[in-house]
């Protein structure tokens, strides 16, 4: 990472820039550096066992909520809205804790298809 940032600094902070462009480019590089550090920190905790457990529980809850929507025809509109809200919360947790939430959602949908085909 440091080598890449150093190369960016050399390119974007060349000596022939006026002070306004230099300051703008320096600010961009500092933002990129901050984003890189945050992404590295995010990746370090995404692989943590607790994070994996949280994602697993969120996936299972999302699946269970989906099955309840499919199987329970007696749900009131308020109950359905409550379940949708809970699903949204589970997806938010998954998107926050997972590096690839789209892939996780595909996994959940595949599990749902298997469960529904066995009913």
Say which residue the tokens 């457990």 belong to: 53
Report the alpha-carbon distance of residue 18 to residue 21 in Å, rounded: 6
Q: Is the pLDDT of residue 1 over 60?
A: no
What is the pLDDT at residue 25? 76
Q: Which has more confidence, 77 or 108?
A: 77
Q: Phi and psi for 34 in degrees, rounded to 5?
A: -60, -45
pLDDT digit string, tens, across residues 55-80: 889 999 999 999 999 999 999 999 99
**Total-model pTM:** 0.56
pLDDT digit string, tens, across residues 24-42: 877 877 787 777 666 666 6
The domains of the chain are located at 2-43, 49-117
């Amino acid at each position: 990472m440091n080598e890449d940032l150093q190369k960016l600094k050399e390119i974007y902070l060349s000596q022939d820039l006026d002070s306004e462009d230099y300051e703008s480019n320096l600010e961009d590089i500092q933002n990129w550096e901050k984003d890189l550090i945050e992404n590295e920190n995010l990746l370090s905790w995404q692989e943590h066992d607790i994070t994996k457990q949280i994602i697993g529980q969120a996936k299972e809850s999302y699946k269970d909520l989906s099955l309840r929507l499919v199987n329970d025809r007696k749900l009131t509109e308020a109950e359905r809205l409550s379940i949708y809200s809970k699903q949204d919360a589970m997806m938010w947790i998954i998107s926050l804790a997972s590096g690839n939430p789209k892939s996780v959602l595909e996994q959940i949908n595949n599990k749902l298809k298997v469960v529904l085909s066995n009913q």
